[in-house]
Amino acid sequence: MDRSQLIERKHEVIAQIRRCQRELEPLRLRQDRHSQRRIRDLERRLEALMAEEGCLRQEIDRSK
């Protein structure tokens, strides 16, 4: 990927991170089993997105 594609992907990942965080907030207040399972899924997704964003940031820096 060239630098502009990396930057574009980074913005997409950041948007996904924000959506994931918004979805997590109300779920954390609930105690039912379904919510707990969804929280774990979202937390794993959030962790993966944050790792991808970090890698993209490094690739962008190297592409200067």
Running DSSP on this structure, what letter comes out for residue 32?
Answer: S
pLDDT tens, position by position, 21-47: 999 999 999 888 999 999 999 999 999
Cα–Cα distance measured from residue 1 to residue 57, given in angstroms and rounded to the nearest whole number = 13
Residue 21 has what pLDDT?
A: 98
> pLDDT confidence of 11, banded at 50, 70, 90?
very high
Mapped onto helix, strand or coil, the DSSP state of residue 21 is helix
Calculate helix-pair angle for 3-27, 33-62, nearest 10 degrees: 160
Torsion angle (degrees, nearest 10) of CA 25, 27, 30, 33: -150
Q: How confident is the model at residue 1 (pLDDT cuts 50, 70, 90)?
A: confident
Q: Break the chain into its structural domains and give their ranges.
A: 3-62
The alpha helices in the chain, defined as continuous H runs, are: 3-27, 33-62
